Structures are given as C-alpha cells and as structure tokens.
Amino acid sequence: MEEKHYWVALNMVQGIGRTLFRRLLESQGSIHNVFNSSLKQLLAVPGIGEKTAKEILRFEVEDRVERELNLADKLNCQILTLDSEEYPRILKTIYDPPPVLYFEGTPLNENPATLAVVGTRAPSAYGKNAAEKLTRDLASRGVSIVSGMARGIDTIAHKSALEEKSQTIAVLGCGLANTYPPENFGLRKRIAETGAVVSEFPMTQKPDKSNFPARNRVISGLSIGTLVVEAGEKSGTLITAQCALEQGRDIFAVPGNILSPKSKGTHYLINNGAKLVDSADSIIEEFPEYIKSVLKNIQVESTTVLELTEQEEKLMKHIKFEEVHIDTLIEKCMLSPAEVSAVLIQLELKGVIRQLEGKRFVSNCQ
C-alpha cells in the first residue's frame, strides 16, 4: 500500500484527533509504523488511551481504505495529505492543519486572495443586504470567498460570489458523501464547478455539532482574513473569528443595528480590535501588497452616465442601501401604485436597484 493510504486509514480510526495523529506520527517515526506497532508501544504515546490503541490495531487498513478511495473516486473527490504538494499552502501554516483533506472541484492553491465570509444562520434583511453587496464587490475584484455553506450568511456569500462568476470554497462539517444542509445540494454542485467543496472528515462522516468548531478553523485557515456579518453574543460564528485570531489572520466586522441582538457579536469584535467594514475597499486595503497585486484592477468608465427619467430620479431619491417598501415609495413620491410599479421595473432593468422579498427594494449604486 502507498504511504498516502495509511494517512487515510489513521484519519478514519475512531478516537484519533489532529493532536493524537501528530503524536503518533512523531513517536512511531512513520505513518506505516503506527499500524505495525505493539499495544505497549502505542500506549506509550501521551493521551492515547487503551480503547483508541486497540482501535488502531484492529483497523482493517486495506479493506477500509479501498472502500474509502472507491467512494471518493465515484463522487469525483480527491484526497490530499499534509505532505502532498497540492495541499493548500496557506492551511499548512496554521497550528493544527488537517492531516487529510478531501475536496471536490478545482485545486485549492489557485488564488492567494481568499477571504472567509461568515455570519448568523438567521440574518436580518440588513445582514442579507450587507453580505450580498460586500461579497459581490469583493468577488468582482478577484477575491475568492470561503465559507461553510450553512444556512443564512454562508449561503448568501457563496451565491453572491457565484453570481460574479468568482471562485468560492465551501468547507463542510461532514464527509463529502453527505451534503449539509441538504437543501444546498444544488449550490454545492455549482460551487464545485468553478471552486471547491472541502472536508477533513472521512467520506461517510455524518454532520455533527462536534464537527463544526473543527470545520470553522479550516474556514479561517484557508483565508487571509475573516469577515463577520451579523453574529449573536454567543454565536458559533465567533468561534471562526477566534480561530482566525489564533492563526494570526485579520478579522473584519460589519457594524449593525445597536438594538438588534444579531449585532452584539460583531460589535464585540469591533470593540476588541476587529476592523469596522463599510465597503470592500476597507477590507482590501488591509491585504498584503503581494495579494493586492493579483487582484483584478476594475476600471470605472468615468464617461458613462446613466440616464434616468424624471420619475426614475424621483424614486431613486428614496431608494438607498437600506431597504424600502413599495408602499413607502408610493406615499413619498405621490405617484399611483401602477406608476411606481412601472418605474421600479425600469430601474431593475437598468440594474440600478434590486428587489428583495416582500416588495422591498435597495439600490445597487451605493
């Protein structure tokens, strides 16, 4: 068997975490030797315990690894080990990189400009708008977006990047034979077409709440910085921010409504040193020069002037970044419902505004 197969095998043994994996490798001299050690030799490794040592000794390496590789091949997934050349360079620099990494899609070293975008699973309308605008602006500048494909902000971040035809990377808290949440199966396939779906867990590992803190450190570990868009006071999103801090990465946070509990986490981060974000530029200006040099240089045509009718201009005075309901526009503009509806359609066609759920509108021209 190839050495890589023993890496995969040890990663599949129940009870073997990242720390114990590293200790076993160091104490036994090679990954192959781990499976050829005696019980006494294994028990000499700090923190292993008799149960885990016996799990290693009775693990059916050839059979289990063959099934794992066949399943990965069937699902078009690739497997990298920490000593693989293709293993993400940025992830190798963290304290506890995954010994084994599974991925579906494109190679993970293609773009050095990667930013994690994370947040609450139940964002407010403001949070949705902020996540979409910032992610689209960053993606359009060449930044690859990393997130966890969870409901809420994560999903918005991935979709916004895809709309800009930019690479995005999803890190799962389960094996790649599963999709979580299940309703994001279609999104996962779209991500894999131009980006990547990643996991450190064996192929058939089910999603479990104990997996997500580990998943979060990979999200931040694959990124040069982490942007938080809405997070409660005890949000799991703050774990990702803490991982980023421990990894020496920049933390960015979007300020929110002071009356909203969804802003407590982001305001806590800002009060403790995270950079307040009000535009994509406020993030990009913090990137190292070598990262800035690879980003796209978006040229703005200063001679391009968008022509609006008198009624369109009248409505645009009341459509800003904060969402506004159609009834409010009818009241403020003193126009009939039919007139406002017609003008809104024209503004959408011109790309000046976009419609949100519940007949609410926001401007694209901030």
Final residue of a structural domain among 45, 74, 103: 74
**Of the candidates 82, 110, 259, 108, the residue with the CA atom closest to the CA atom of residue 171:** 108
Domain count, the chain: 3
309-332 mean pLDDT: 87
Exposed (0-12), middle (13-18) or buried (19+): which is 330, by Cβ within 10 Å?
middle
**Pairing between β-strand 353-356 and β-strand 360-363 as defined by DSSP bridges:** antiparallel
For residue 51, give both structure tokens.
């149960």
207, 80 in Cβ contact below 8 A? no
Residues 6+ apart with CB under 8 A from 190: 162
Nearest-5° angle of CA 44, CA 50, CA 53? 75
Q: 70 and 126 share a domain?
A: no
301 band by pLDDT with thresholds 50, 70 and 90: very low
Q: 2 and 119 share a domain?
A: no
**Of the candidates 345, 341, 342, 362, the residue with the CA atom closest to the CA atom of residue 353:** 362
Mean predicted lDDT score pLDDT of the chain: 91
What is the CATH classification number for the domain harbouring 67? 1.10.150.20
For residue 260, give both structure tokens.
């909203």
Range of the domain at 270: 114-292
> What is the per-residue pLDDT for 290?
85
Q: What is the pLDDT of residues 215-230, one digit of tens each?
A: 999 999 999 999 999 9
> What is the per-residue pLDDT for 302?
33
Q: What is the pLDDT of residues 269-291, one digit of tens each?
A: 999 999 999 999 999 999 998 88
Q: What is the DSSP track for 82-126?
A: TT-TTS-HHHHTSSS--SEEEEEES-TTS-S-EEEEEE-SS--HH
For residue 297, give both structure tokens.
């240089």
Residues 6+ apart with CB under 8 A from 359: 325, 326, 327
Residue 298 inside a domain? The answer is no
Residue 90 inside a domain? The answer is no
235 band by pLDDT with thresholds 50, 70 and 90: confident
Q: What is the pLDDT of residues 105-128, one digit of tens each?
A: 998 887 889 999 999 999 998 999
What is the CATH classification number for the domain harbouring 349? 1.10.10.10
Q: 22 and 166 share a domain?
A: no
* CA-based end-to-end distance of the chain: 58
**Of the candidates 130, 165, 135, 121, the residue with the CA atom closest to the CA atom of residue 362:** 130
Q: What is the pLDDT of residues 186-204, one digit of tens each?
A: 999 999 999 999 999 999 9
Residues 6+ apart with CB under 8 A from 42: 24, 34, 48, 53, 56, 57
> What is the per-residue pLDDT for 303?
36
Q: At residue 39, does pLDDT exceed 90? A: yes
> What is the per-residue pLDDT for 236?
85
Q: Which amino acid is residue 301, in one-letter code?
A: E
